[in-house]
Structure 1
């Protein structure tokens, strides 16, 4: 293992620090058998495209057997492929073909909960003395009601009454996503056995869904209303993760990233510290809340302040520093399209803004994640006009709760919010070309989710034909990452934190300095951040020429000196 002097510290180098991840939402990536649903053979069809982009790891959203209540995050069999996606033979072929191309496969691990149709829960609810009863969290009613007032992430109580037994079971998400009882050592050993089964198959890592929620309290007297906030970072969570590391993760050269809502940088160091023997990195969500309402969440948005976004991201950069590793992302399957959210998706600015956002993110310290379609600047689906256009359980339940039941929002207000923030924005089918159904599925087939109606102008075929496209900007970022260690290992220093128009930061490594400057507005600005620019090398920009201290609309520049 190589080591390198880093700001007075010695930082070990790992392959996952130097890699770039591409996230695939299989249901929306490519339909190969003309049923309107993406599948594993569809992914195989585009492996050469992903290799051309220059990524290293493919993170697959869940492909396991599932009733699909929450698009695969409700798993009924961890060692079986959902029939929508193909067979285990298809997966084996995908793994083989990816490895032939030097691409790694990272699986989505969902072990906070299972489907209510999983064998464990089917047995668990049969009787109070069933051997699987303690695999889940069952509680008696309190004064004839649920054990507490916790609210699920998908609206309504986090407790579901099982009428046969008269007890409630805990579900932090959908009532069909039943929380596992990690206090039971048999649960943990069953999960570790399953994980090792996949490792033995040859997979290269795990993305762990809401992994910091697994350690539930012994009693449920908490007065918190959000179930997520009430259970996040429980007292035994690090004990469980170290046990997982000992039993599974330490036995192979895997990449691990944990999804961790409600965490601070201090928590991040505990989960992903270089000396902690738990995870390699985590996804935090603090920067994903800058434009959301504290009460209504996705159902009410407000303009964000650039200074706030910079402060959050910079805090994670500096406080993790030499202690832990960041996971860098703007988009994923749970977030709206970043060019629509933090950029500008109007035709005159979309390409510039998408490139700018990519440059700002990828030159920070951490492992960057590209979500499918981000590399061509896919946008939110403004053509979704009624609730019938949406399929996401969070959108449907929230609409029912806030519009139909509580009358907090009008239908128009709710749809406006969903156009800006719904998870379905990320899940519209991948836009491959300008033919019918965007090349995602055959003409005449109805896709599982409606298409974004701008696919005739925003698609992969168009991007590959244009050497100035967003795709080639991302490809170049991935190439430069391999050439310049400062991009990976340099420290981070925010410049002018109160500037509401420009994000500028420096990075330092082994006598070199990297300067990133980005204009988040449509105005032409003048900024001077270094007297060394005359001798600096312009490493990358989203404009053809370099105007030095002038920043044109959505201009981003990366200098090395």
Structure 2
């Protein structure tokens, strides 16, 4: 059954950095409402909004102290209701972050849980005695060197995969399950179209507390979120997570209309594990996040081709998410480009993101070609992960810089002092400047999004990879009798791609619908595509 999100393009708003409406230097809900026209004009269909719930902000809102209340830094419930109303007027769907794995240590549930061993909420969290020598119950590591923190009031350790201010809930307790399901109901009843479930493969841990194996290095699939050399087989991806997700999907399906969308943040070792989160009968989450494109070491056609072929083979007809950047890891332009070729690479990556088969997620500012702006001193670091591991790891602040709207003071983001520094190039790289430049990264995104909207093969078509060139990544999209070919030169040299022996070729001539290089548009080509350095081209047979 087709759903609205099958053809959607999502835009991730890191709320703290998007638009401040009251001059306190922090982006908020009212600021997002004020920028809905921009997002509508951009051409996206849905907005994922990062957390805005009451929180001490140890982890910028992912440490929730009240799941049903809005933090005053971000606004109030009236602002949220306006967001839903105004988004609906523009045919934009809103998806909100829901944090089910853990709470803040300032949450009333945890405050009650830690007050005594006989508390009615004691078993809502995971409490254990230490070893005979007083050390933690096992060797588990997470965001901190140990996932266990000793609480002197009751002389037990509590478990937290994330920071010690984020204790994990005990999902083996039916009362916890009921309460957290009710939180999902609350926000769906407020009118959101779906939920992005944070850290959803962390819900259940090994009940025997077996030690995790020690490795020589961090597993590649965890390098963006995990710092220690340990294989977290007993803390992440427990089989019982799937039982809970089946219950959640069933609960939401019978209690809400239109089977609301569930998107899951899952960091897993391979595509077979991603496949499991869909459920055997489409009975878990509709869209488990696929982060593997973001883990590729270089912008190399061979690496991308291998990855795309692998997830096509394993996931089959299931739609996957397409993610190159987000709030937890370095922006793609910083990973794959130098400052000199950054705009060219940004357009190339946009062409990849919006023409592959799947559901694209654009990270705010990606449409401007924003690069990371990491802290230069520990005093600049806001992210606790960066403070813990400085200077080996500088944290995630660099990919969360305030959105540059114009060349004026504070980039139009705020009238006050922004919570984190602006990108140094904001006076030239901003929405206003790029709107007026027909060849900008922003306008390339707009053209791509418009093309995707009107060209059915790009939104609904099947995909076939072409060739094995290490320089040019090429593939075709098919829908009924329509064909679209995409060729991406991922090198700093000129390249050629032969059109002479393509499968399903019916004609000898092709028309360029869109190119990252303006001079190529509308050109008619026959046997060979000649590509400029970092040029991406979309062509159709004529």
TM-score (normalised: structure 2): 0.90
CA gap of 1:459–1:340, structure 2 versus 1, over 3 A, is same
CA displacement at 1:130 relative to structure 2:
1.0
Deviations 1:39-64 (Å, cap 9, x if unpaired)?
11111111100000011111100000
Structural mapping, 1:473-492, within 5 Å? 473-492=444-463
CA displacement at 1:482 relative to structure 2:
2.3
Structural mapping, 1:89-104, within 5 Å? 89-104=78-93
Q: The residue matched to 1:168 in structure 2 has which SS?
A: strand
CA displacement at 1:529 relative to structure 2:
4.7
Deviations 1:319-378 (Å, cap 9, x if unpaired)?
2121x22011111111212112123432xx322211110111211111111111011111
CA gap of 1:173–1:446, structure 2 versus 1, over 3 A, is same
2:326 corresponds in structure 1 to: 332
**Contact 1:318/1:492 (8 A) holds in 2:** no
Are 1:244 and 2:248 counterparts? yes
CA gap of 1:230–1:290, structure 2 versus 1, over 3 A, is farther
**Contact 1:105/1:203 (8 A) holds in 2:** yes
2:383 corresponds in structure 1 to: 392
CA displacement at 1:218 relative to structure 2:
1.3
Are 1:378 and 2:370 counterparts? yes
In the alignment, the residues of structure 2 paired with residue 20 and residue 305 of structure 1 have an alpha-carbon distance, to the nearest angstrom, of 25
1:363 corresponds in structure 2 to: 355
Range with greater deviation from structure 2 (455-464 or 481-490): 481-490
Q: The residue matched to 1:186 in structure 2 has which SS?
A: helix
Aligned-pair Cα RMSD in Å:
1.9
In the alignment, the residues of structure 1 paired with residue 308 and residue 108 of structure 2 have an alpha-carbon distance, to the nearest angstrom, of 42
2:441 corresponds in structure 1 to: 470
In the alignment, the residues of structure 2 paired with residue 288 and residue 37 of structure 1 have an alpha-carbon distance, to the nearest angstrom, of 27
Structural mapping, 1:395-474, within 5 Å? 395-399=386-390, 411=391, 414=392, 418=394, 422-442=395-415, 445-474=416-445
In the alignment, the residues of structure 2 paired with residue 425 and residue 317 of structure 1 have an alpha-carbon distance, to the nearest angstrom, of 32
Q: The residue matched to 1:79 in structure 2 has which SS?
A: strand
**Contact 2:200/2:264 (8 A) holds in 1:** yes
In the alignment, the residues of structure 2 paired with residue 47 and residue 71 of structure 1 have an alpha-carbon distance, to the nearest angstrom, of 23
In the alignment, the residues of structure 2 paired with residue 376 and residue 505 of structure 1 have an alpha-carbon distance, to the nearest angstrom, of 25
Residue of 499, 503, 511 corresponding to 2:473 = 503
1:543 corresponds in structure 2 to: 517
**Contact 1:270/1:276 (8 A) holds in 2:** no
Structural mapping, 1:176-187, within 5 Å? 176-187=165-176
In the alignment, the residues of structure 2 paired with residue 289 and residue 427 of structure 1 have an alpha-carbon distance, to the nearest angstrom, of 19
Counting matched residue pairs gives 513
In the alignment, the residues of structure 1 paired with residue 200 and residue 159 of structure 2 have an alpha-carbon distance, to the nearest angstrom, of 16
Deviations 1:408-435 (Å, cap 9, x if unpaired)?
xxx5xx3xx64xxx42122110000111
1:146 corresponds in structure 2 to: 136
**Contact 1:224/1:230 (8 A) holds in 2:** no
**Contact 2:290/2:323 (8 A) holds in 1:** no
In the alignment, the residues of structure 1 paired with residue 200 and residue 332 of structure 2 have an alpha-carbon distance, to the nearest angstrom, of 25
What 5-or-longer segments of structure 2 have no aligned partner? 215-229
Residue of 11, 14, 18 corresponding to 1:25 = 14
1:275 corresponds in structure 2 to: 281
Structural mapping, 1:79-94, within 5 Å? 79-94=68-83
In the alignment, the residues of structure 1 paired with residue 60 and residue 126 of structure 2 have an alpha-carbon distance, to the nearest angstrom, of 23
2:305 corresponds in structure 1 to: 310
Are 1:319 and 2:323 counterparts? no
2:178 corresponds in structure 1 to: 189
Residue of 231, 234, 237 corresponding to 1:230 = 234
In the alignment, the residues of structure 2 paired with residue 72 and residue 313 of structure 1 have an alpha-carbon distance, to the nearest angstrom, of 33
Q: The residue matched to 1:114 in structure 2 has which SS?
A: coil
CA displacement at 1:526 relative to structure 2:
2.1
Deviations 1:289-341 (Å, cap 9, x if unpaired)?
333xxxxxxxxxxx57542343223311332121x220111111112121121
CA displacement at 1:506 relative to structure 2:
2.3
Are 1:528 and 2:498 counterparts? yes
Range with greater deviation from structure 2 (258-267 or 32-41): 258-267
In the alignment, the residues of structure 1 paired with residue 278 and residue 461 of structure 2 have an alpha-carbon distance, to the nearest angstrom, of 18
2:342 corresponds in structure 1 to: 350
CA displacement at 1:17 relative to structure 2:
0.9
2:224 corresponds in structure 1 to: none
**Contact 1:151/1:227 (8 A) holds in 2:** no
Q: The residue matched to 1:360 in structure 2 has which SS?
A: helix
TM-score (normalised: structure 1): 0.87
In the alignment, the residues of structure 2 paired with residue 535 and residue 183 of structure 1 have an alpha-carbon distance, to the nearest angstrom, of 62
CA displacement at 1:436 relative to structure 2:
0.9
Structural mapping, 1:66-215, within 5 Å? 66-143=55-132, 144-152=134-142, 154-215=143-204
What 5-or-longer segments of structure 1 have no aligned partner? 1-11, 292-302, 400-410
